[in-house]
Amino acid sequence: MLKNSKILLVGSNGQLGRRLKSIFEDKCYLVSFSRNELDLSDIKNIKQKVLVVDPDIIINSAAYTSVDQAEIEKDICFNINSKAPEILAKTAGILDIPMIHYSTDYVFDGKKNGVYYEDDETNPINFYGESKLIGEKAIETNLEKSIIIRTSWVYDQKTKNFLNTIKSKLDNEEKDIFVVNDQYGSPTWAKRIAEITFMLVNRIVERPIWGKYHFSSLGRTSWYEYAKLITKVYKPEKIKLIKPTSSKNLKQPAKRPQNSELSNIKINKVFGLYQKNWVKDVELCIKELKNERDKYE
């Protein structure tokens, strides 16, 4: 069934989009739009471009993810994270096709003592989280055949993310590295999200259960412990200390939830899709990164 399907992937140049493209491109008729090919901050042409493709499924992996910059570029962030998903959902409705969309743990305020479930009350504390929540609601309002996957702390070998930021500091900075130790969640490899998306697309052909699902790696950690693991596995040439600090000391423009650990129970039960341990995945990701680097040295 999938082999004969035309899938439209939006956001193919992002860290998740690249992984999705690599998995889907030889298994179906894939049409992928990078940011240059479909700029979601320019909302005027989205509907027409999708209608021209006439896909069987839309996968939207595009997002504005710079949490601090979102506090400044609110219009751009809103168009990409809120308005564009609404237009994509409405267009999917016109075509009577399903859409898969990705959201974030930052739709929660982080005050809960325990994991977050899909039906827990949302209360974003920064504009990025607010824009993603508005996007979620727009999709739910305009398209019954939709699956929204909330994930957390996404990383991969390429593009800007926490893992690459720490790696860059280890390679280029002389001073010790301070990382917050009072925010908790689950680092999730983009490769795993892409893999479960592929399995999910195959599952919904037989069992189309629409709605919101959480998917993140197994285990809970802080950004500080995460950075320590990156340092241990990456093994930089010059030893640098990873030192803990509080969120208040960093004085970031956007607030972050202190706890954003997601429960995976629903996606496990409904679709039989399971997670890997976050530690093992970070180790594997860095190993892949090193292998890729060695090819060019």
CATH no. for residue 107? Answer: 3.40.50.720
pLDDT of residue 292: 67
Would 262 be classed as within a structural domain?
yes
DSSP states of 266-293 as a string?
HHHHHH-----BHHHHHHHHHHHHHHHH
Would 243 be classed as within a structural domain?
no
The answer to whether residue 43 scores a pLDDT higher than 90 is no
pLDDT of residue 218: 97
For residue 241, give the amino acid letter.
Answer: L
How far, in Å, CA of 218 to CA of 289, rounded? 22
Pairing of strands 184-185, 221-222: antiparallel
Would 19 be classed as within a structural domain?
yes
Rounded average pLDDT over 120-134: 98
The structure tokens listed for 119 are 């039906």
Give the angle subtended at the CA of 165 by the CAs of 160 and 170, to the nearest 5°: 150
- Helix %, strand %, coil % of the chain (to 5): 45, 15, 35
Would 228 be classed as within a structural domain?
no
Residues in the chain: 297
The structure tokens listed for 134 are 């508005």
Would 174 be classed as within a structural domain?
no
Instruction: Output DSSP code: residue 48.
Output: H
Tell me the pTM: 0.95
Would 173 be classed as within a structural domain?
no
Structural domain that includes position 36: 2-155+187-219+257-277
Question: Percent of the chain scored above 90 by pLDDT?
Answer: 84
Would 147 be classed as within a structural domain?
yes
For 139-156, b where at least 16 C-beta lie within 10 A, e where not — what string?
bbebbebbbbbbbbbbbb
Would 269 be classed as within a structural domain?
yes
pLDDT of residue 42: 85
List the 146-151 sheet strands across, edge first.
Answer: 29-33, 6-10, 57-60, 99-104, 146-151, 211-214
Contact indicator for 116, 260 with CB cutoff of 8 Å: yes
Question: Percent of the chain scored above 70 by pLDDT?
Answer: 98
Catalytic residue, candidates 128, 184, 213, 226: 128
How far, in Å, CA of 178 to CA of 175, rounded? 9
How far, in Å, CA of 295 to CA of 16, rounded? 23
Average pLDDT of the chain to the nearest whole number: 94
- Between 289 and 228, name the one with better pLDDT: 228
Q: How many domains does the chain have?
A: 1
Say whether 117 is catalytic. Answer: no
